[in-house]
Amino acid sequence: MRVAILAGGLGTRLSEETGSRPKPMVDIGGRPILWHIMKHYAGNGIRDFVVALGYKGDVIREFFLGYSHIAARSLHIQTKDGTVRAVAGEHDDWDVHLVDTGETTNTGGRVLRLRDWLTGDEHFCLTYGDGLADIDLKLLIDYHLSHGKLATITAVRPPSRFGGLVLDDGMVTTFVEKPQIGEGWINGGFMVLNRQVLGRIAGDDTSMESDVLEGLAAEGQLMAYRHEGFWQCMDSLRDTRLLRNLWESGDAPWQTW
């Protein structure tokens, strides 16, 4: 099954990091968040990706054009003809399709522009290039295939914007950093869709969220896979620092590979 990743937005809420690069290329531990997302899918056996480019898409292209060299521990360079060969290092076995979907195209329009790369299977995965989780993607896909509806989203409980307190008879016993909110669910962005959904996208201005998904929900064609574990988007500088700190601590919940 192929994974479509929306990586073309402007990332205006994270302007401190996105002036020179798209948000999916903001780094966590020396690798872009897009790489972390793809590693998570690959760790679940899904290694075929189509990435919807837009804002500063050339930065993503350059990363993947040089990826085998970036991942290599040693390089052999032939100065006479400029040949470069990776000698040793970690080499991810991925198929990556990079597709320009326009700078101003809406989310649904970007998905529609990927339709020629989403053939060969009745279903495909879809996610955004700015969120991490420890979701068991195999269970998500199995759930989608079991219910027979057109689409499945992953429902998550959003983390609180503020740290929490644990109290014992008025005494503060500990601080909790950004606990999950106990009420309400939101779309966590890890989706599985039947290819028929592409026929519901009118064009570039279509929103995947308010036009397509809400329409599917109204028709009883949208199911939710509930995920109670870790989930975190990268919408702000605070979110970015949190994800970086988790990675640097060696305890990043999304590192399931």
Phi, then psi, of 157 in degrees rounded to 5: -95, 120
Q: Minimal CA–CA distance to 73: which of 83, 87, 84?
A: 87
Q: Minimal CA–CA distance to 46: which of 96, 93, 111, 2?
A: 2
pLDDT at 157: 86
CA distances from 144 to 70, 152, 186, 227, 246 (A): 36, 6, 18, 14, 30
pLDDT at 167: 60
Q: What does DSSP say about strands 3-7 and 123-128: parallel, antiparallel, or unpaired?
A: parallel
Q: CATH classification of 3-248 is 1.20.1640.10, yes or no?
A: no
**Which sequence spans correspond to the domains of the chain?**
3-248
DSSP H or E segment with residue 109: helix 107-113
Return d(Cα 229, Cα 58) in angstroms, integer: 34
- The answer to whether the CB of 138 falls within 8 A of the CB of 44 is yes
pLDDT at 163: 59
pLDDT averaged per 10 residues, the chain (length 257): 94 83 95 97 96 97 85 76 72 92 97 95 97 97 96 88 60 60 81 98 96 94 94 92 94 91
Can you tell me which residue has the tokens 């020396």?
A: 30
pLDDT at 82: 75
pLDDT at 156: 92
Classify residue 220 by burial, with Cβ atoms within 10 Å: 0-12, 13-18, 19+: exposed
What are the tokens at 167?
């109290």
